[in-house]
Amino acid sequence: PASFCDSNNCKRIAPKNFTIHGLWPDKEGTVLQKCKPKPNYVNFKDKMLNDLDKNWIQLKFDEDYGRDKQPLWVYQYLKHGSCCQKMYNQNTYFSLALRLKDRFDLLRTLEMHKIFPGSSYTFQEIFDAVKTATQMDPDLKCTKGAPELYEIGICFTKKADALIPCRPSNTCDRTGNIFFR
């Protein structure tokens, strides 16, 4: 979240730990988007709303607006969740994303490997540290311009019952240092 907020106008304070960006289905290496039929999104309330607001925080919106209108979750569900309709309804889609996130504490994993926010590390150091937790190749994404860790992708099978190696997005320089904000 810190690197996201550095390059975006966040309305909320970025949490220290990693949050969810999205749960994206793909087919043979192509991310699926905006599948038909277009699903109806129903606003969350109660515990699910609180869990999403903590783990899939809508940083670009102030808290009241985000919780009321839920723009990020609507966007993610219509764009990507629509392609999971045969397997998951809306509640199951978001519950699955929360459960998958809870399987890994990426900040703690990095810290256990002496990788701390505020310093720079090689691509391989970050990659190898994450791989100790997932046992599979993660997808590290960096910001354009100044090399900064922006996102860590973890990939799962279609049923989300096992991890698989991620295809690299190749947004990070594999030879220089990457700043971990």
Question: Assign residue 137 a region: left if phi > 0, alpha if psi is -120 to 50, beta otherwise?
Answer: beta
From first to last of its 181 residues, the chain has per-residue pLDDT tens of 899 999 899 999 999 999 999 999 887 777 889 999 999 999 999 999 999 999 999 999 999 999 999 999 999 999 999 999 999 999 999 999 999 999 999 999 999 999 999 999 999 999 999 999 999 999 999 998 779 999 999 999 888 999 999 999 999 999 989 999 9
pLDDT, position 83: 94
Q: CATH 3.90.730.10 in the chain, residues?
A: 1-103, 105-180
58, 70, 76, 90: which one is catalytic? 76
To the nearest 10 degrees (0 to 180), the angle between helices 71-79 and 90-102 is: 100
pLDDT, position 26: 84
**Which two three-digit tokens encode residue 176?**
């220089």
The DSSP call for residue 84 is G
pLDDT, position 13: 94
pLDDT, position 145: 77
**Which distant-in-sequence residues (6+ apart) come within 8 Å of 174 by Cβ?**
123, 124
Q: For the whole model, what pTM was predicted?
A: 0.93
33, 80, 85, 124: which one is catalytic? 80
Q: What is the CATH number of domain 105-180?
A: 3.90.730.10
pLDDT, position 7: 87
Pick the CATH number of 1-103 from 3.90.730.10, 3.40.50.720, 3.20.20.150, 3.40.50.10070: 3.90.730.10
Residue with tokens 């691509």: 123
Query: 113 an active-site residue?
Result: no
d(CA 27, CA 144): 26
